[in-house]
């Protein structure tokens, strides 16, 4: 009952007001809050999944590989199961030989924020966001159509990718960003122990850079564990770039520093191009 699962529940309810949303969570407080906020209408337990038409699995990725096969064991033949994990290879492998693999769609909506829990859920979160779907050919066509109609109705753009490529690419554009944010936050906090006024000088640039450091460690530690091999390579490259910048600064080679930053300014054009492409879609 967090940001992604709760937001999906709100959007599903918005599309089908007659539907009843049930919630399963290890936290009773989260379930109570989800009911209070109208995210779900009823609490449920694992055995109730046998009656579900839709199942959205939004839990830490290490738990997904354990829970997903059990979900497929108990669902109806015409139920659809979606996951929203930030890693895909191990999750897909966990059910590759399951008799009901056809009922499952491996998805990753790129719509996260630094907030968690039921209060972070919001209707319309996914408008204009990308949803990466892996191994779509292993999902039965009827379930594909049902899921894709839903994603279209809530305004998502779809990309198809194999699980290994997904995990490699997402390590660069998401997982590395979180590591950078966590470690920048750590560096400043350690300095703040001796200089209490350091945060008084923190502007919007600092706040935007460390925003991701507010993310849930219970969600991100399993992600780093599952995607360790793919994360290590961009992390090494990032450290190499930091060391190069450090050396240029030590050597007072400000022309090279200028050239490095000017070259990196191309990121503006790249991101603007991606944004325009999404707008056209």
Q: What is the pLDDT of residue 276?
A: 65
The interaxial angle of helices 228-250 and 254-264, nearest 10 deg, is: 140
In 3-state terms the chain splits into helix, strand, coil percentages (rounded to 5) of 60, 10, 30
Domain(s) of CATH 1.10.3660.10: residues in the chain:
166-280
How many other C-beta atoms lie within 10 A of the C-beta of residue 228?
12
Identify the CATH assignment for 166-280 out of 3.90.79.10, 3.90.1150.10, 1.10.3660.10, 3.40.50.2300.
1.10.3660.10
The interaxial angle of helices 176-192 and 228-250, nearest 10 deg, is: 50
How many other C-beta atoms lie within 10 A of the C-beta of residue 57?
19
Give the residue among 116, 112, 94, 115 at the shortest CA–CA distance from 104. 94
Domain(s) of CATH 3.40.50.720: residues in the chain:
3-162
CATH number of 3-162: 3.40.50.720
Q: What is the pLDDT of residue 175?
A: 95
CB–CB of 128/155 below 8 Å?
yes
Q: How far apart are CA 255 and CA 189, in angstroms?
A: 32
> What residues form DSSP beta bridges with 22?
42
Q: What is the pLDDT of residue 114?
A: 76
Q: Scanning the structure block, which residue is given the tokens 């969570």? A: 25
pTM of the model: 0.87
pLDDT in tens, the chain (281 residues): 999 999 999 999 999 999 999 999 999 999 999 999 999 999 999 999 999 999 999 999 999 999 999 999 999 999 999 999 999 999 999 999 999 999 999 999 999 777 889 999 999 999 999 999 999 999 999 999 999 999 999 999 999 999 999 999 999 999 999 999 999 989 888 877 666 666 666 677 777 888 888 888 999 999 999 999 999 999 999 999 999 999 999 999 999 999 999 999 888 777 777 666 666 65
In sequence order, which residues have a C-beta less than 8 Å from that of residue 72 and are 6 or more positions away? 81, 95, 98, 99, 100, 101, 103, 104
């Amino acid at each position: 009952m967090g940001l992604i699962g709760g937001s999906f529940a709100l959007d599903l309810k918005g599309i089908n007001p007659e539907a009843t949303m049930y919630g399963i969570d290890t936290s009773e407080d989260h379930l109570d809050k989800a009911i209070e906020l109208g995210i779900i209408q009823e609490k449920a337990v694992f055995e109730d999944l046998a009656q579900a038409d839709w199942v959205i699995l939004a839990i830490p990725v290490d738990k997904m590989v354990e829970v997903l096969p059990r979900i497929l064991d108990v669902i109806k033949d015409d139920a659809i199961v979606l996951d929203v994990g930030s890693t895909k290879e191990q999750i897909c492998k966990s059910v590759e030989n399951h008799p009901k693999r056809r009922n499952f769609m491996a998805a990753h909506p790129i719509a996260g924020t630094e907030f968690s829990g039921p209060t972070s859920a919001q209707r319309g979160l996914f408008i204009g966001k990308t949803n990466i779907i892996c191994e779509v050919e292993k999902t039965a066509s009827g379930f594909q159509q049902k899921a894709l109609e839903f994603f279209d109705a809530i305004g998502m753009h779809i990309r198809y990718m194999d699980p290994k490529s997904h995990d490699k690419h997402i390590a660069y554009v998401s997982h590395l960003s979180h590591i950078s944010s966590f470690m920048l936050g750590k560096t400043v906090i350690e300095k703040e122990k001796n200089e209490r006024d350091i945060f008084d000088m923190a502007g919007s640039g600092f706040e935007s850079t460390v925003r991701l450091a507010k993310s849930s460690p219970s969600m991100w530690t399993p992600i780093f564990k599952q995607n360790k091999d793919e994360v290590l390579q961009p992390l090494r490259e990032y450290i190499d770039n930091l060391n190069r910048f450090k050396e240029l600064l030590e050597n007072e080679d400000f022309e090279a520093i200028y050239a490095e930053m000017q070259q990196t300014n191309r990121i503006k054009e790249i991101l603007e191009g991606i944004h325009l492409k999404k707008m056209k879609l």
